[in-house]
Amino acid sequence: MASGKTLTSAKAEKSALASSKADKPRRKTLARSKYNKAEIKAIFERFREADPEPKGELDHVNEFTLLVAVVLSAQATDAGVNKATRHLFQIADTPEKMVALGEDRIREEIRTIGLYKNKAKNTFLLSQQLIEKHGGKVPQTREELEALPGVGRKTANVVLNIAFGQPTIAVDTHLFRIGNRLGLAPGKTPLDVELKLERIIPKEYMRHAHHWLILHGRYVCKARTPECSRCIISDLCKSPENKVGLAGKKPPQA
């Protein structure tokens, strides 16, 4: 009887181990960038020369209001969020003030932006959690930020980068498009693009990299009509949509 139990236990353990291995995500092989190291360095050096200290376009007065603004910016324009938060941040620039304001009042303040009901609820709840779990301070780790209501990986990366100077890559729709259109960091998901950019961007450019790429996608390499004629990296760009082209251009050598 004892040996039977041992055999059964061994089989169960083996089965559990096999199941555990099956549950582990396979390591994905990310698509290669179309650019060599010298070309990537040249691209980001151009961006740095044109705009040494790029800034995010969401208005805020401290780490807390930045966090709220980024949460509110999902599926909304920065300009629309700035309009909605202009008065809100005057009367509630701390988690304590936001909680005191109440969900109903928050909802009224931000009703001009999309999904405002759910966003008001998340703003109220994340303010509560900041008070209860973080002493009213915005945490400085991705894990802690993502545990807050309404905060995903992109939002956490934006806050870590802008508020705390961490070299994170926040992949929004513009950056996702740029990564794939240019072949700089091709990927099927925002996380694919983020991980590829982290691997290929030289350290000296990481702090501002996502700002440069987002602003480039927003104002130059637009979704429908990329303005290649005014693009500062058009001679380096390997996108099939490049209207200027690479004819006669000798790419930097690695």
Active site residues: 154, 172
Distances (CA, A) of 225 to 25, 82, 112, 186, 241: 38, 26, 28, 20, 10
Amino acid at site 31: A
142 three-class SS: helix
Q: Give the whole-angstrom CA distance, residue 201 versus residue 36.
A: 11
- Quick check: 253 and 36 in contact, CB under 8 A? yes
Give the DSSP letter of residue 172. Answer: -
Give the DSSP letter of residue 137. Answer: P
Q: Give the whole-angstrom CA distance, residue 11 versus residue 5.
A: 10
Q: Which of 19, 13, 33 has its CA nearest to residue 238?
A: 33
Q: Give the whole-angstrom CA distance, residue 161 versus residue 54.
A: 12
Q: Which of 216, 253, 181, 175 has its CA nearest to residue 46?
A: 216
Beta carbons within 10 angstroms of residue 196's beta carbon: 20
- Quick check: 238 and 183 in contact, CB under 8 A? yes
Q: Give the whole-angstrom CA distance, residue 92 versus residue 99.
A: 9
